[in-house]
Each structure stands twice: as C-alpha cells, then as structure tokens.
Amino acid sequence: MALRIHDSKSSDATTRFTWHAREELLLASYATFSIRSDGRKVEEALHPYRGPFQRDRDRILHSAAFRRLSGKMQVFTGDMGDYHRTRLTHTNEVASLARTIGRYLQLNEDLIEALAMVHDIGHPPFGHCGEDALNECLKDHGGFSHNRFAMEIVERLEQRHTSMPGLNLSFDVLAGQQHRSNKQLLPGELTPTLEVQVVDAADSIAYDAHDVDDALKLGLISFQQLHRLSIVRRSLEHAGATNPHLPNERQFIVHALLDLQIDDLLETSNGQLSQLGDLDSQAVREIGLLLRMSATIESEKEELEEFLFENVYRHPQLMEVRHRAATRLRQMFHLLVAYPQRLPKRFQTFIQQDHSSELAVYRAVAQYLAGMTDRFCDDAYINLVELGRSQAEDW
Ligand code: MG
C-alpha cells in the first residue's frame, strides 16, 4: 500500500502513501477512484505524486479563464461595493462546501475540487444577463450557454501544450461538467457520479446562503423579511440561537443556513448510501441514485429561492445594471459580426479554420465576448463602439 520513496533531505528512505493507496484507505466503495479514471483524450503517463484529478484541478487553477472569475460578477457588480461575492469567491465557497460534504461521505475530494473549480468557468461577463444576451444573439446559431462554453474553454480555448488545444482534462471531469449542460437526464442516460452530485448540491447551498448575506449587506432585504421564511427560522433554531442579538447578525444567519442544509443533506445521503453495500461508482450510477435533502428542507429552500428571486435578483438596482450590460453586449456582438476583422487575431484564426462560415463568425464573436471580465467588457465597449477602435488585446 505504501510507497517507499527517497527523501532528498535525508539519507533515509521515507515511507509515504501514494495517491492511489491513500484513496484505497479513505474512500468508500461507491466513490470514483482515481486509478479507475476514464483517462484523457491524449493519453498521459501517470504522475508520481499527483493523482489524475489533482492534475485536473491544477490545470483549471492555472488557466486564464479561472483567474478571470475574479473579475466576473456573481449577482452584484463591482460598483456596488467590495463586500459581496465575485464568481471566483463563489467558486471557492462551492469547492470548500463540496469538499466538506465529500470528505464526510468518503467520496473523491480531488475530483470534487476539480469539478467545483471548473463549474462556473464558462460564465460570460455580467452573470446571467450576459448569458441571456449572448443566447439571444446566437438564437439562430445554436444559442449560448455558460455550461457549454465551459466545455469550449477547457477543450479548445485554453492552451497548455503546443501540440494540442485545451487542458486535456480527464473524461471524468469533462463528463461531470457536460452533465451541467444537459441538466435533465436523457432517456437511458446514467445518473452522474456522486462527486458531480455533491458539487451541484454545494453550488445551490452556497449561492442561496451567500446571496442572503450580500443582499443584507447591500440593504436590499431586511432581517424582518428573512425571519418570515421557514428555512431561516429553522436554521436559527438548529444553530441554537439563544442569544437574542444573534438572529440579526448577518454572518450568523449565513452560517446557520449553511449548517442546516449541509447537516440535512449529510443525514439524508448517509441513509441512502448506507444501504448500498459495496456497490462501486458505476453500479451506483446504474441504479440511478440521486443524493437529496429531506422533502421538508427542499421545499423550504424553494421558498427561500422564490424570495431571493423576487426581492434580490429582480431588484431595480440590479435590473438597471443588467439592462445596460445586455445592451452593450448586444451592440458589440452585432458590430463584431459585421466587422470580424476587428476581433483579436486569435479569433480571426478560428474563423478561418472554420472556413469563414457565418456560424464560425457568430461563434468566434460570442467566445470572445463571453471570455471577458466585467471591467474588460466595459472597456471594450468604449473602444469598439464609442471610439471605433479595434481590439488589439488578445483574449
Ligand atoms: Mg455556481
């Protein structure tokens, strides 16, 4: 089980666990074991001390698209202060929650971390309104979805080697991200691995909780409104809020919301997983196991999401930002489709590689715009539309 390797700092050989031996010791049978990974499009030799999913995580971490998440809004824009989450800090919160859940359930944390870090990498500038604007621009050319764009980023746009496009991620990570594009299972399709399901759950738990925090801080919602929601009252009770001041402490409410949802998910999942015997990951997918929270928490969570939709995501202050961003993206889109020579060289090359078809132009323009951070998008608008300059800076 343990590998004896030479420690360069001493003359003695030191005993260390290999990544696969560590997984044999710590993971449950239903986890996705790195050693049984489905491999990569371009085969690579195994690394001596990093498992395949650790390497996936590192490739995502070092990609330009991942760094750009720091400049992309989650819900609130940069000119609304510096307290709230960006797409990057949201991603980090998802990864942290998902690893906590995964470790408890003895799943593969390395795979979970890679999946969490890549899950929002395809978001265009200005969140869902950016996505809606690009989707509308591409309505006759296949549409646009941030989940599909994530696949284009990791399979084509990021360049890690001169010999091949993309990050050459494992098929396990690609399949997990692909699942996000489909959302609903196609007839005959297996349920995703438990690691994918944990990241999906952590994403939803994270954004519901942190959107409450950010909206409170920005004064878009009040404690009084929140206390009317069943899940908030239950969370406070669950967290033992006997101190009369705590129910009106922003961060306490957020932690209470996280704890309640995660405790509930773990308890329900534990019940499901303890009945599996020694089924492996593939067998669990074949029986169609879906990790769930209890019906009570699921319905109370729905009530919270409806509240956030009405009172936060549709808030006039946000709607104005969204409207402006969508208008700018549409204007840039139509201008660049009419004058693709104003795109950076790299995207012009993509168009030539695809025989300069109309579809190739539309897709290249959408890829260029979708890769931008919010600030870069604003600057590009001034350069392209207001000043009539070409975009010299590459993606
Ligand atoms: Mg997310």
What distance in angstroms lies between residue 151's CA and the mean position of ligand 1's atoms?
15
For ligand 1, the distance from its centroid to the CA atom of residue 305, given in whole angstroms, is: 14
Rounded Cα gap, residues 200 and 98, in angstroms: 9
Q: How far does residue 227's CA lie from ligand 1's centre (Å)? A: 26
394: confidence class by pLDDT, cuts 50, 70, 90: low
The three-state DSSP-derived secondary structure of 338-372 is HCHHHCCHHHHHHHHHCCCCHHHHHHHHHHHHHCC
What's the CA-to-centroid distance between 127 and ligand 1, angstroms?
Answer: 10
Provide the pLDDT confidence category of residue 95 given band limits of 50, 70 and 90: very high
Alpha carbon distance 124, 134 (integer Å): 9
Q: Are 230 and 303 in contact (CB under 8 A)?
A: yes
pLDDT 10s digits, 324-356: 999 999 999 999 999 999 999 999 999 999 888
| d(CA 84, ligand 1 centre) in Å | 15
Cα 115 from Cα 13, distance rounded (Å): 35
What percentage of the chain carries pLDDT values higher than 90?
Answer: 76
Query: Does residue 15 register a pLDDT over 70?
Result: no
320 CA to centre of ligand 1 in angstroms:
23
The pLDDT value given to residue 69: 97
Average pLDDT value for residue range 223-230: 95
pLDDT of 271: 94
Q: What is the DSSP string of 99-168?
A: HHHHHHTT--HHHHHHHHHHTTTT--TTHHHHHHHHHHHTTTTT---HHHHHHHIIIIISB-BTTBSB--
Res. 100 pLDDT band, cuts 50 70 90: very high
CB 126 within 8 A of CB 323: no
Average pLDDT over residues 125-145: 95
User: For residue 117, how far is its CA from the centre of ligand 1 (angstroms)?
Assistant: 9
Secondary structure of residue 274 in the 3-state scheme: coil
* pLDDT at site 245: 67
Average predicted confidence (pLDDT) for the chain? 91
User: If you average pLDDT over residues 375-387, what whole number do you get?
Assistant: 91
- Residue 285 token pair: 């997918």
Span from the CA of 119 to the centroid of ligand 1 (angstroms)? 6
pLDDT (mean) for 21-47: 95
Contact 270/105 with Cβ under 8 angstroms? yes
Predicted confidence at residue 160, as pLDDT, reads 82
Is 108's pLDDT higher than 90? yes
Average pLDDT on 232-255 reads 83
Residue 149 pLDDT greater than 50, yes or no? yes
What is the Å distance from ligand 1's center to 271 Cα? Answer: 27
> Which residues partner with 3 through β-bridges?
16
**Does residue 50 have a pLDDT over 60?**
yes
Give pLDDT, residue 8: 43
CA distance 123 to 367: 11
From ligand 1's centre to the CA of 86, what distance in Å?
11
Assigned token pair, 99: 């690893």
pLDDT, position 132: 95
> Which tens digits make up the pLDDT trace of 280-327?
999 999 999 999 999 999 999 999 999 999 999 998 888 888 899 999
Residue 91 C-alpha to ligand 1 middle, in angstroms?
Answer: 6
| Cα→Cα distances 227→102, 206, 220, 234, 294, Å | 31, 19, 15, 10, 21
| Residue 52 backbone class (left: φ over 0; alpha: ψ -120 to 50; beta: rest) | alpha
Has residue 390 got a pLDDT over 80? no
- How remote is the CA of residue 112 from the centroid of ligand 1, in Å? 14
SS3 category, 386: helix
- Token readout for 116 is 């969490």
Contact assessment for residue 370 and residue 130, using Cβ atoms and an 8 Å cutoff: yes
Crossing angle of helices 358-370/316-338, nearest 10°?
A: 140
| Domains and their CATH numbers in the chain | 50-123+140-311 (1.10.3210.10), 318-394 (no CATH)
Please compute the mean of the pLDDT values over residues 148-161 and round it to a whole number.
93
Q: Is residue 144 very low, low, confident or very high in pLDDT (cuts 50, 70, 90)?
A: very high
Please identify which residue in the block is written with the tokens 């746009």.
Answer: 157
CB distance 354 to 348 below 8 Å: no
- The pair of three-digit structure tokens given for residue 392, joined into one six-digit string: 């010299």
**E-assigned strands of the chain?**
2-6, 13-17
Average pLDDT over residues 214-240: 93
Distance from residue 275's CA to the centre of ligand 1 (Å): 30
**Sorting pLDDT into bands at 50, 70 and 90, what band is 9?**
very low
pLDDT value at position 194?
Answer: 98
